[in-house]
Amino acid sequence: MRLQQQIIIAVTGACGLMALGLGFYGLGTIKQTHQTYIAETRNIMQEQYDRNVKMEVETAVSLLKAVKQRQERGLLTENEAKRLSADLLRELRYDGGVNYFWIDAVDGTNIVLLGRESEGRSRYALTDSHGTKIIADMIANAQKPGGGFTNYWFPKPGETAESPKRSYSLLFEPYQWVVGTGTWLDDVERLTARQEAAYLHGMRQDLAVSAGIVLLGFLLTGLSAWLLGRRIAGPIQEMASRMREMSGGKLKVEPIEVRGAAETVLLAESFNMMAVNLRKQRSALEKSEARFRSLIQEAVDGIIYLSRDERIMMANRQIEEISGYCQAELIGFGLEKLFAEDVLAEKPLRFDLLAQGETVTEERELAHKDGRRIIVETRACQLADRTIQCFFRDISQHKEAQARLLLQHNELMALYEEMAATDELLHQQYQRLMQSEERYRLAMEGANDILWDWDIEADCIVWSEKAWELVPLPQGSTDRRDWERLIHPDDADGVAKRLQEYLNGRHQFYTDEFRVDSCKGEYRWILSRGKVLFDETGKPIRMAGSYTDISENKKRDLRIEQLAYVDMLTGLPNRTSFLKELDAAIAEGSEAKGALLYLDLDDFKDINDTFGHSFGDKVLLQVAERLYGVAQAQAFVARLGGDEFTVMFMGIGKEEVEQYLADLYREFHGDFQVENIRCHVGISIGIALWPQDGIVADELFKKADMALFQAKAAGRNKYRFFLQEMADVVEEKTRLGSQLRDAIAAQELFLEYQPLVDALTKKPLRLEALLRWQHPELGRISPAQFIPLAEATGLIVPIGRWVLMQAAIFARQLVEEGWPQAVVAVNVSVRQLMEDEFIAMVRGVLDATGLAPANLELEITESVVMGDLPKAIGKLKTLRQLGIQVALDDFGTGYSSLTYLQQLPLDVIKVDQAFVHDIDGRKNQGDIVETVIDLAHRLGLQVVAEGVETEAQAEILAANGCDALQGYWISRPLHATEVKKWLTEQAEEAK
């Protein structure tokens, strides 16, 4: 019996202790869980607030940096940049337009503040009721790396009592400005307090359940005292079995049926009651957990919990909204469900730092189920049981808002740049107009631009000071209607209509011209230009632009229109007037006849270059007077432009025209005198008659131009009537140019090679490749005939490429057949040289043929200086760096200059044969060549003499130090097979 009583005591005591343990554990766990969540929520909200405020200030400072860059590029002065920066931040708002920014200098002087009442004054001594030096602390925190936060007390707008406030400030070093913003902390505290109250209410309910379990434990422990001595061996075994089931987690056990003593019955009933209470406790815990899960599910942030093996064990509904995955698709998976491979490679959440107890906050791109990338802010920490709690906040819209703000900023900057470009364009147009109308120059003192900025939402407009100088606006007015009342009544409706059409998006640019009343009591013409700024919904919110006084331009336009048919220099009719008169004369009918004389002054460019354009204009005036004086009323004289004139006779034939030409040439035989300087002006004339030469103005001009070309070709200061043969020659050139296009494919082009030898030893030095054309019908065509055609039509580029390839192939053959020093020189036109792909083409030829650069020489002419000299020099330097020699051909016939010789990267100059022909054994005839040779050697260049035809010429050239000779005395141009034979003969003679 004693043993049974001991068993009863032990079992009952154990049950009581177990109930006590469960109750106290429930109390501690519930309280700790709720308190941890409340504290974590408070910290997250405070950190999120700090991060948002810091981000807004950094965005504002980025605007200041953009304006500073415009100042550094010279688009704005420092004062203009500072003023623009202050205006931008003064208008900038965030959080729905509630919060704003302020700027203070480092000495405490206020730059920008809402209300503007303290701008320009020092706020350095500002202190709150707690003794905090507000401005001094903000300035000190702003100068820390990355800026800093300041807590202080400050009254809200309209209140006298102070409230707690927290601000973030950052130093903008270029201007020594402190930029900041902040807000009162009441909202954060109220939200935190509401959440804490809700959590505490749930916690109290859970604590009540745990307290009941504790009381049950005390009851069971006391019960064990009076159950002693009862016979309970059998029931105890059954209770032990039930307890094992309960310890395994099965709380819904069957009640114990007890047979025996009353004490045993009471103990069993107590055990049954304990089981019921345990089930109630489990139910309460499950409800608490459900409430906790409900809080998690209803949270505004996405939340997941990761197990120790980094697998998702719980996720809320918000994470479904962010990721596109339902919770069932996430549970059991790792982070690969939420992040793409490239993000996973960067190790998001940093588990190594979480394991050390740190809280990790990052911005990452979350991979949505549909493939989109969503920018989220993650905040993760490791809990006591080593599970990972992670919050996800979708900040995509915030990023987009930042991007829109930057876009609006860029559009505003573009507007200012466009206005600056407009001012520059107006200035350039004014300069050109002043130059073209020197005789009618109108003085304009400075620009008359009025700059304006219209806040469309507030319907408030600001004008620059120029406005009050031009129009009688009320002083200090910002009312747009004050300007509209000044618009001419006839223009008002049209101005309003065109402005509204632009704001509605019907036009891409806004420009308008209208009249406004001026301070002088007269209407002035205004050119209005502007640019509108739209918000994200497409609503116009701001517009800026300029008003320009164009009254003088309007008057000038009228004057120009009046002079549209008159040449401004000579007073003669201009081209427009002449064409109109010619069309009218031809249109008189089939019986009408007449003559068109196309005149061009000979070498008039030399007069301008020698005496200046002002002198040349005065000569043109005298030319116009003589032309008109000889013609009198018989002809219509006009100036087409430059030194070109036309004379039109109506109702006369060839004989009368010839009489006029005789009188005209007698008149031009005498010199022209300008400013005590006498000069002679020759005149070349081409004549076309109608109707025999044509009955269309363009056709007559074309044929008169052909005749003029022939007059100049005949020696100038001559006249020629149009003949059909002239058109035939042009047609022949056109036909020949067309056939030249097919000459390569038809294998009509081929190369000959003329040797160059050492002037002293007569040993072969190099070969010059010469292009030839064997036409199937016309026979051999001279290069002087088809090379200019190739230049004019652009065929010189593909032909030149073919020549270079053929010459390189031949040079490679010579090297392989025993002449390793063989060098082939190829002529290159300026048009070829200036091709962007020329250097690459040369490299390609060398690579394709295997020819060493040292076996190639390229010859250019002096006409290279007439094009883009710096570009030509750059390409020639590249060729020489490749190892290719460069020669200047036909030296002395073009634009020879010591400057060009010094600038051009050359190896060789080739003296033109015109100088060589003058050498006949007398020393004075060779002075020029001797001087050229000496100059070239001083510059480190080799000299080649072209066109050597006699032994005497060769000896004189060698005696004067010439390096190489080329000409028929050495050898005529040879076919490729003849070249090899000639080289063999020279080698045998050298032995």
Instruction: Phi first, then psi: give them for residue 332, nearest 5 degrees.
Output: 95, -10
* Closest C-alpha to 539, from 504, 570, 495: 504
Strand ranges for 709-849 from DSSP E: 719-721, 749-758, 764-775, 779-781, 824-827
- Which range of 205-219, 327-341, 506-520, 889-903 scores highest in mean pLDDT? It is 506-520
Whole-structure pTM value:
0.38
d(CA 296, CA 290): 10
Residues 857 and 890 sit within 8 Å (Cβ to Cβ)? no
At 489, is the secondary structure helix, strand, or coil?
helix
**pLDDT tens per residue, range 581-618:** 888 888 776 567 888 899 998 888 888 877 888 888 88
d(CA 920, CA 806): 38
> ∠ CA(938), CA(912), CA(904), 5° rounding?
45
- Roughly what angle, to the nearest 10 degrees, separates helices 783-793 and 796-816? 120
**pLDDT tens per residue, range 371-386:** 888 888 888 888 877 8
d(CA 484, CA 491): 10
d(CA 415, CA 455): 15
Which pLDDT score is estimated for 447? 43
Strand ranges for 223-359 from DSSP E: 302-306, 312-315
Mean pLDDT score, 313-325: 83
Which pLDDT score is estimated for 806? 93
> ∠ CA(84), CA(90), CA(93), 5° rounding?
125
Encoding tokens for residue 125?
Answer: 């001594």
Residue 415 clears pLDDT 80, i.e. is over it: no
pLDDT band at residue 843 using 50, 70 and 90 as cut-offs:
very high
pLDDT band at residue 438 using 50, 70 and 90 as cut-offs:
very low
* Closest C-alpha to 911, from 863, 965, 852: 965
d(CA 539, CA 501): 14
Residue 300 clears pLDDT 80, i.e. is over it: no
d(CA 983, CA 990): 11
Per-position b or e across 454-463, b if 16+ CB within 10 A of its CB:
bbbeeeebeb
Order the strands of the 162-172 sheet from edge to edge: 110-112, 102-105, 177-184, 162-172, 148-155
pLDDT band at residue 440 using 50, 70 and 90 as cut-offs:
very low
Would strands 594-602 and 644-650 be described as parallel, antiparallel, or unpaired?
antiparallel
Which pLDDT score is estimated for 537? 86
Which pLDDT score is estimated for 441? 35
Residue 894 clears pLDDT 80, i.e. is over it: no
**pLDDT tens per residue, range 329-371:** 888 788 877 888 777 777 787 777 777 778 888 888 888 888 8
Q: What is the DSSP string of 41-100?
A: HHHHHHHHHHHHHHHHHHHHHHHHHHHHHHHHTTSS-HHHHHHHHHHHHHH-EETTTTEE
Which pLDDT score is estimated for 422? 62
What is the CB neighbour count within 10 angstroms for residue 401? Answer: 14
Encoding tokens for residue 520?
Answer: 């002088």
Q: What's the 3-state SS for 650-696?
A: ECCCHHHHHHHHHHHHHHHHCCEEECCEEECCEEEEEEEEECCCCCC
d(CA 273, CA 503): 81
Order the strands of the 450-455 sheet from edge to edge: 460-463, 450-455, 540-549, 523-534, 510-517
